[in-house]
Amino acid sequence: MERQEILDGLIEVLKTIRTIDPERLVGVTEETDFLTDLSTPSTELINIAAKVEHKFDIEFDDDDIDHMGSKVKDIIDLIIMVKARGENE
Amino acid sequence: MITDKETYLDIIKNGNLVGVPPEQMLLHGPTKRYVDKYLWHSPNKGIVARYSPTERDVEDHFGIFRGVDQVEAFAQASTVSCATFLECRKLNCTPAELKEMFIPAFISIGNVNFYNYLEYGDTFVCLGNITFYKWRQMACNGRIYKVPRGFDLDSYFSDFTEERLLKYDISKDFIQVAELFDITGRAIKIELFKKPE
């Protein structure tokens, strides 16, 4: 799965997040920060992670979430890592 | 006190918090521990716990237990106690062992509405229901009620149910003090919590 494809899927997820202003999703890049650029409440990151699991058919471990950064690229990296882990199991 | 580790692990694995001294679940304190006793607990659903504010709790505050301490009391009774219990169950360890790995932290507080007040001599119960639990993060909704003096809480909650918890189906003699939403906490790894900037 290419990074752009994941980014597109992630933006679809973000469109369903009530606390994110849809207008802010225009021009989202891998460098976009959920906390500072999208003003996402801290609890919402967990909700986003839960929806990402469903969207990409993956399962995060507790430790994955511990180390998840707040930028879009951090989540994309995490999705790629968890997908690879699943394929190796 | 539960002095035998195997007994405690068996309670964690197969039982619930009723009968467990709060000081063995909430490892801070004693002055800022706001749970005196667990009255009812369904590990995946919710909890009922009681507390009576001390003279120290109301000192310099008109003899009133502060609203912010009500939120803290509710969080300790619900999110912290329930999540600690489930994490110990998952890792097959005691709270003391969990404390070596994680620090419980507030993540957010949703709406809180106050309807009454609590003063020294009062006893209140926190009714908390778990609305989210994943990745060591838990959110609870619930209510705080002031209890009539002399009320036998142990007996009253001995046959409490999950259905009654969700409906707040309790005695009309209880006075609602507060309603709380999305009281959210997370167990954060100590090494991440103390990570330098």
Phi, psi of B184 (to 5 degrees): -120, 130
Contact A46 B182 (CB under 8 A): no
Q: What residue spans define the domains of chain A?
A: 3-87
Among A41, A42, A65, the residue with its CB nearest the CB of B135 is A65
The secondary element (H helix, E strand) that includes residue B174 is none
Contact B189 A66 (CB under 8 A): yes
Per-residue confidence (pLDDT) for residue B195, from 0 to 100 = 65
pTM > 0.95? no
Among B108, B134, B188, the residue with its CB nearest the CB of A41 is B108
Contact B135 A41 (CB under 8 A): no
Contact B188 A66 (CB under 8 A): yes
- List of chain B residues whose C-beta atoms are within 8 Å of the C-beta of residue A70: none
pLDDT in tens, chain B (197 residues): 888 999 999 999 999 999 999 999 998 889 999 999 999 999 999 999 999 999 999 999 999 999 999 999 999 999 999 999 999 999 999 999 999 999 999 989 999 999 999 999 999 999 999 999 999 999 999 999 999 999 999 999 999 999 999 999 999 999 999 999 999 999 999 988 776 55
- List of chain A residues whose C-beta atoms are within 8 Å of the C-beta of residue B188: 66
- List of chain A residues whose C-beta atoms are within 8 Å of the C-beta of residue B98: none
- Report strand pairing: B37-42 vs B112-114: unpaired
CATH superfamily to which A3-87 belongs: ACP-like (1.10.1200.10)
Q: Is the ipTM of this complex over 0.85?
A: no
**Res. A1 pLDDT band, cuts 50 70 90:** confident
- List of chain B residues whose C-beta atoms are within 8 Å of the C-beta of residue A67: 192
Distance from CA of A49 to the nearest CA of B (A): 10
Per-residue confidence (pLDDT) for residue B57, from 0 to 100 = 97
Residue A21 has pLDDT above 60, yes or no: yes
Among B137, B188, B192, the residue with its CB nearest the CB of A46 is B137
Per-residue confidence (pLDDT) for residue A36, from 0 to 100 = 92
- List of chain B residues whose C-beta atoms are within 8 Å of the C-beta of residue A49: 135
Residue B76 is classified by DSSP as I
Among B108, B136, B188, the residue with its CB nearest the CB of A43 is B108
Give one DSSP letter per residue of A23-74, joined into a string: GGGTT--TT-BTTTTS---HHHHHHHHHHHHHHHT----HHHHHT--SBHHH
Per-residue confidence (pLDDT) for residue A86, from 0 to 100 = 82
Structure token pair of residue B177: 């003090």
Phi, psi of B182 (to 5 degrees): 55, 50
Contact A49 B135 (CB under 8 A): yes
- List of chain B residues whose C-beta atoms are within 8 Å of the C-beta of residue A41: 108
Q: What is the mean pLDDT of residues A4-10?
A: 95
